[in-house]
A and B are shown apart, each in its own frame.
Chain A
């Protein structure tokens, strides 16, 4: 049963993601995960501070179920579906090891240097986690969507705004990886 263990190829994963988007469309919903962050803020009472959060969260309940399913899927895949290494290109693996001493792509799904439980005692990693999350949350709402809403749903629907957002994603990502990583991780 190799397909359980191995990396699923892109030509399987991409059409399956589109299939999930179609299933949601036929159920009358729009594929977009970051909307859940807004719903969660609403549930936590953020509506008292900004009417941006005065939404009828019950309309968004389906999306909370969807992302709960996502977490369950992550559990199933990590525990019952084979090896947890990531088959990135040797070039990338070597570069990470030689430049940032980030290792482990052969046996870990995320770099242990950045995401292990030991990291909870490192203030620097807390700053990375909170800071990175903050940029994602802020940017997704400012742009009106994330990878699922813009890159997949939006581009599939041939929307110009989504193309602009995806170009923005890449400007930001390239800046982080090529200009800011050397400053953040090399010192």
Chain B
């Protein structure tokens, strides 16, 4: 039953990202050329709505459905990992025009080359696991 809830939320996620075209290479390219407000509007309105909601969650001390604390722990404070990790991520995001969510959504939509991209992303994740002790965090 719980699995079904997550699958259903995932289906919503897939449809929203596909239909808003945020999963399209073309939109990512357009965003990095600053030639449309569309992607900024999606991220901006998601963050505005999200921030308002999380503000309310904290203000009214809301709990999860099974009365636990929400998963809102702040990330560790540091600088290099977020900047360098972010830059590396951004290079790949612009190149293949897909971040991790859209990769899976696009495979579902029938774009088989994205399976190769996911394979690359798994190799990247694995390499991070191997090299992480040598990297500044």
Contacts and interface: CB of A to CB of B under 8 A. Distances in A.
Interface of A: 7-30, 33-34, 36-38, 40-41, 44, 46, 49-50, 52-53, 61-63, 65-79, 81, 86-89, 91-93, 95-96, 105, 109-111, 114-117, 119-120, 125-126, 128-148, 150-162, 164-178, 180
A98 to B, nearest CB: 13
15 contacts: A7-B20, A8-B21, A26-B70, A53-B129, A73-B16, A88-B26, A88-B30, A92-B29, A92-B35, A111-B25, A133-B120, A133-B122, A156-B49, A168-B84, A172-B91
Interface residues of B, number: 115
Given A67-B104, A164-B86, 7 more contacts: A41-B126, A76-B14, A120-B113, A130-B119, A136-B124, A148-B100, A157-B50
Closest 6 A/B residue pairs (Cβ): A168-B86, A69-B10, A73-B14, A172-B90, A133-B120, A137-B124
Contacts of B92: 131-139, 172
B135 to A, nearest CB: 7
Interface of B: 2-3, 5-33, 35-51, 53-54, 57, 62, 64-66, 68, 70-72, 74-79, 81-101, 103-114, 116-130, 132, 135
B86 A92 contact: no
Contact of B111 (A7, A76, A91, A115): A115
